[in-house]
Amino acid sequence: MPLPPSSLAAAQEAPPHTGGLLLLIDGTPGLLIVAALGILLLLFLIIKVRLQPFVALLAVSVAVGLAAGLSVTELFGTVQKSDAVSLIESGMGGTLGHIAIIIGLGTMLGAVLEVSGGAEVLSARLLALFGEKRAPLAMGLTGLIFGIPVFFDVGIFVLAPIVYAAAQRSGKSILLYCLPLLAGLSMTHAFLPPHPGPVAAAGLLHVSLGWIILMGVICGVPAVLAAWAWAAWIGKRMFVPVPQDMVEAADEAKAAVAEEQRAAGVVPREDPVPLGTVLGIIGTPLILILAATFTSITLDPSTLRSVIEFFGHPFVALTISLLLAYWLLGLRRGWSRKSLETISTASLKPVGNILLVVGAGGIFGAVLKGSGVAEALSDTFHDVGLPVLVLAYLISLVLRVAQGSATVAIVTTAGIVLPLLESGDYSQAFTALVIMAISAGSIFASHVNDGGFWMVAKYFGISERDTLKTWTVLESVLSVAGFAVAAVVSLFV
C-alpha cells in the first residue's frame, strides 16, 4: 500500500511528549539522556547479549521513542486507521523502498561476474601486465575493480586462491599480496555503491548516488593508495607463509563450486571471459549514474536531459548492467536460462539480514526525528562547535570500534546527523562528503568484534596478534586517509 505523503509528514512531524509511556525528563536535557541511554542500550544488546543487530535496533528504536514521549499510536499506528502511517512503517518503508532494489540488483550482478570467472580473468591480465615484481599492485587493482560489484566476504572467497598462487610463486610473505587486495575490497565496500553502507547512507540522507560515486572515488582512491603504501612497508618486514591447509580447502571448494555450477546448468567454456567485457559490465552503471548527475546540473530541462536521467537512474542503470551480464557472460557462453535464475536467486539469500538492519536503521532515524531527540542532538552538536563532517566521522568511528558492525555504525550515525544536515543549507556534494566521513569511520580499527577480522585471519593464515598488527592497522590507515581527503575536499564545495 502506498504511503500517503500527508500521513508520512504527520507521523514524522508529530510533536513529542504526547501520551508516551516512559517520559523521563522533559526538555532538551531529558532528550539527550534518552539518546545517550539508547545508544548504550544498543551497544549492550549487540556486544553483551549478542542480540541480532536488526532486533537490537528495532528494540532500541521503540524504547527511545517511548522514553522520549511518543505514544504507542505514533510508533505503531492503529488498527482502525489503516491510512495512517506510523513512524516504524515510514522509517522502514521510506528507507528500503530505494535501497532494497539497488542492493538486490548489485548483488545479482556480482554473482554473475563471480561465477563466470571474471575475477580470474581480471587478476591474470593485471598480473601479466605488471609482472612478478609488481604483483602486489596487480592484486590491489584486482580487489579495487572486482570489489565494486561484489561483497567484501565474497571477494575474499573468490580471490584468496589467486593470492595463494602469487605468494607461492614468489616465496615472499603472503602479506605482500593479501593486504593490497584487502585494501581494494574494503575501500569499495565502504565508499562506493552498490554496497549496502554508502547506499544506505545515501537513502537516509537523501543524496544522489552520482554524488556518492564521485566523492567515493575522490576520497577512496587516495585512501587506498595510502593503504597500499602501508601494506608494502609491513609486508617486507613481517613474513607470513602461505597457509597450506587453506590452499587445499580452496581447491576442494573450487571443485565443489564447479560441481554446483554443472548441476545448475552452467557449462564453463575453455576460453576465458574477455577482460573488456568484465570492465564494461562493471563500469556501465557507474558511467550512466554519473552522466545523469552531471546532466541534471549542467543542462536545462529538455528531452535529452530526460533521456540521460532515465538511463542514469540507479534502478535502470543497474538493470541494464545486469542484463548485459546475463547476455554476455551467461547466455552467449552456453548458460541456460535456468542457471541464470538459480545463480541470481541464490545470491539474494545473504542479503536479507543486510536489508533488515538497514531498514531498522531507517526506523531509528525516523524515531529520533519524530520524538524530538534528533533536534536536541542537533542543537547540542551545534553548541559543541565541531564541524558536522568531523562529528559524523567520530560518531561512526566510536560505534564501529564498540560493536564491530560497519553497517550498524553507518545507519545509526546517519540517523543522528540527519537533523544537523537538515538544519543547514548543505549541498548534495557536501552531504555526500559527510557520508564519506561516516563510511570512513565505519571501517576504523577492525578488531576481534568484527567478523571481517576473523575472515582475514582464517583465509590468509595470520595469527590473531599479527592480524591486529597488519589488518587492523590497514583499516585504520584507510579510514583516516579517507576522512582526511573528505575534510580537505569539503573546504571547496
Query: What integer is the mean pLDDT of 8-28?
Result: 47
In a domain, 173, yes or no: yes
In a domain, 7, yes or no: no
Q: What is the model's pLDDT at position 78?
A: 64
Q: Is the pLDDT of residue 10 over 80?
A: no
Q: What is the model's pLDDT at position 22?
A: 45
Q: What is the model's pLDDT at position 5?
A: 42
State the SS3 of 14-60.
CCCCCCCCCCCCCHHHHHHHHHHHHHHHHHHHHHCCCCCHHHHHHHH
- Of 210-219, 243-252, 339-348, the least confident: 243-252
Distance CA 425, CA 405 (A): 31
Distance CA 28, CA 380 (A): 9
Q: What is the model's pLDDT at position 24?
A: 45
The structural domain count of the chain equals: 1
CB 329 within 8 A of CB 121: no
pLDDT band at 319 (very low <50, low <70, confident <90, very high): very high
In a domain, 335, yes or no: yes
pLDDT tens per residue, range 438-470:
999 999 999 988 989 999 998 999 999 999 999
In a domain, 398, yes or no: no
Q: What is the model's pLDDT at position 137?
A: 94
pLDDT band at 15 (very low <50, low <70, confident <90, very high): very low
Residue 11 cell numbers, joined:
507521523
Angle value at C-alpha 466, between 464 and 471, nearest 5 degrees: 90
The residue that leads in pLDDT, 16 or 103, is 103
In a domain, 384, yes or no: no
The residue that leads in pLDDT, 180 or 22, is 180
Sign of the Cα pseudo-torsion (50, 52, 58, 59, in order): negative
The owner of cell 539527550 is 32
In a domain, 456, yes or no: no
pLDDT tens per residue, range 379-427:
787 777 789 999 999 999 999 999 888 989 999 999 889 888 887 789 9
Percent of the chain scoring above 90 in pLDDT:
52
Domain span including residue 108: 94-203+212-226+243-347
The distance from CA 146 to its chain's CA centroid, rounded to whole angstroms, is 15
In a domain, 371, yes or no: no
| Helix, strand, coil in percent for the chain, rounding step 5 | 75, 0, 25
- Of 80-94, 354-368, 460-474, the least confident: 80-94
pLDDT band at 6 (very low <50, low <70, confident <90, very high): very low
Q: Is the pLDDT of residue 314 over 90?
A: yes
